[in-house]
Amino acid sequence: MSIQIPRGTQDILPGTVEKWQLIEETAKEVCRKYLYEEIRTPIFEHTELFLRGVGDTTDIVQKEMYTFEDRGERSLTLRPEGTASVVRSFTENKMYGNANQPVKLYYIGPMFRYERPQKGRYRQFVQFGVEALGSMDPAIDAEVISLAMQIYKQLGLKKLKLVINSLGDNSSRAAHRTALINHFQPSIHEFCSDCQNRLEKNPLRILDCKKDRDHELMKTAPSILDYLNEESSLYFEKVKQYLSLMNIDFIVDPTLVRGLDYYNHTAFEIMSEAEGFGAITTLCGGGRYNGLVQEMGGPETPGIGFAFSVERLISALEAEGIEITQEQQIDCYVIALGEKAKDYSVTLLQSLRQAGFSAERDYLNRKMKAQFKAAERLNAKHVIILGEDELAAGKVAVKNLQSGDQVELPLENFINEYTTLSN
Ligand code: AMP
């Protein structure tokens, strides 16, 4: 039996990979404008990093990590997300001492989670994300959100919904936590076993439960917004004001909590409202994590970031009927007839490519007609025909495949002549 691709992964084949490239280029271009610089961290890290950085009460850590022991008996894990690694690197490389502050970084690369595969949920997926470390200015929260929105806008997405919330600072969170425990405790036996575990460890995450989402107590649960202290409240007001100043529409949803433990203050998600996008509507998730750098052994440093997967972005583009890649075209296809002409085509092809033209030739010894067909399939602008007689006379025929016009060009100075013709 032939070996098949592992469950929850996919091959990105030529024809589709162009979409990925365009998305990556767009994201990078927007990052350049916002002055976020690329960081590349390892695909695997010490397991401990994610226990601390993602939080050992989260689904990711409890159920979804690809963890293995290497030959040196170290426990390593394929990264399930990017923030923990970026913060580790920030701390390890003492970037808090960089002259330019805040430190604004982006990453793009594969992440791994052992999840139940379905539309929009893979076991290997590519996340693009940014992290801004070192600023506690609500304008940076708004900037990070606007950066995500700008990438989506530039790719043509329209049916988007930005949802924001504030989880407040530590004291606001603590007050809310007590209120949540008091609210759920009397009826916790009616909830799933995960929620029963969460009650003491991290009651906020009960609000995030997919199984118990329709329980009556979910609707009446105390809202974090009622527990924000004055400072947290003011911070949230500023973030909203800045978003409005940038003409970015949003709605506030006090039930929006993030799955990860280290979030505080601003939390946000961007959803696709396109029909046919599927059951999972979240395109992008992010928020502020002021305690994380310290948790990783660095100095107290505020941070905010987001991540989205290219897979879900592509689904959203498809659901909105947006075609982002253009038809591929090459400059010329060289048809060589006869041995001498074939030899000559090797140098000609090399000169054409070095001069900046995309050029191709036949490698299967096909007849002239089949080579013309190959040129058409590649959508070549010109076909350059090298025949024995023409070569002997120091000339080649160049045919424009769109207009059908054919001209003869001298071999001497051919690249210059061809450049003039194709402009
Ligand atoms: P998270 O790190 O769980 O907050 O997820 C952030 C974003 O990553 C989500 O909004 C999705 O765009 C994407 N994402 C998370 N898990 C998956 C997955 N299993 N497959 C594809 N995309 C994912």
Query: What is the domain partition of the chain in residue ranges?
Result: 17-169+229-319, 332-422
Place of tokens 């502050």: 101
Residue with the smallest CA separation from ligand 1 atom 21 is 121
Specify the ligand 1 atom closest to the Cα of 81. 2
Position 238 scores a pLDDT of 98
Specify the ligand 1 atom closest to the Cα of 127. 8
Mean pLDDT calculated for residue range 143-163: 97
Higher pLDDT, 64 or 59: 64
The residues facing 309 across adjacent strands are 127
Inform me whether the pLDDT recorded for 51 exceeds 70: yes
Share of the chain above pLDDT 90, in %: 81
Residues flanking ligand 1, CB < 6 Å:
81, 113, 115, 120-122, 125, 127, 259, 282-285, 307-309, 311-312
Position 62 scores a pLDDT of 83
What's at 128, amino acid-wise?
F
Residue of 270, 312, 317 with the most ligand 1 atoms within 8 Å of its CB, for mutation: 312
CATH topology of domain 17-169+229-319: BirA Bifunctional Protein; domain 2 (3.30.930)
Q: DSSP letter at 281? A: -
Residue of 308, 315, 317 with the most ligand 1 atoms within 8 Å of its CB, for mutation: 308
Q: How sure is the predictor about 270, in pLDDT bands with cuts at 50, 70 and 90?
A: very high
Residue of 125, 160, 280 with the most ligand 1 atoms within 8 Å of its CB, for mutation: 125
- The pLDDT tens digits of the residues spanning 91-132 come to 999 999 999 999 999 999 999 999 999 989 999 999 999 999
Dihedral, CA of residue 51, residue 57, residue 58 and residue 64, to nearest 10:
70
- Cβ-based neighbours of 224, under 8 Å, separated by 6 or more: 165, 166, 167, 168, 172, 173, 176, 204, 254, 257
- Cβ-based neighbours of 208, under 8 Å, separated by 6 or more: 257, 258, 259
Position 8 scores a pLDDT of 97
- The pLDDT tens digits of the residues spanning 290-331 come to 989 998 899 999 999 999 999 999 999 999 999 988 888 999
* Spatial distance between the Cα atoms of 114 and 85, rounded to a whole number of angstroms: 19
Inform me whether the pLDDT recorded for 82 exceeds 60: yes
* Spatial distance between the Cα atoms of 214 and 263, rounded to a whole number of angstroms: 25
Mean pLDDT calculated for residue range 273-281: 85
What phi and psi values does residue 362 have, to the nearest 5 degrees? -85, 140
148 CA from centroid of ligand 1 (Å): 14
Domains 17-169+229-319 and 332-422 agree in fold: no
Q: What is the pTM of this model?
A: 0.91
Of the candidate CATH numbers 3.30.470.10, 3.40.50.280, 3.40.50.800, 3.40.50.300, the domain formed by 332-422 belongs to: 3.40.50.800
Position 261 scores a pLDDT of 61
Position 331 scores a pLDDT of 97
Mean pLDDT calculated for residue range 398-403: 96
* Spatial distance between the Cα atoms of 362 and 344, rounded to a whole number of angstroms: 13
Position 259 scores a pLDDT of 56
Position 260 scores a pLDDT of 61
Q: Does 299 sit behind a cis peptide bond, omega within 30 degrees of 0 on the bond before it?
A: no
- Cβ-based neighbours of 127, under 8 Å, separated by 6 or more: 81, 82, 107, 108, 109, 110, 111, 307, 308, 309, 310
Average pLDDT score over the chain: 94
Q: Tokens in use for 185?
A: 């405790």
Share of the chain above pLDDT 70, in %: 99
- If you count them, how many residues does the chain have? 423
- The pLDDT tens digits of the residues spanning 332-381 come to 999 999 999 999 999 999 999 999 999 999 999 999 999 999 999 999 99
- The pLDDT tens digits of the residues spanning 239-265 come to 999 999 999 999 999 988 875 667 899
Residue with the smallest CA separation from ligand 1 atom 20 is 121
SS3 44: strand
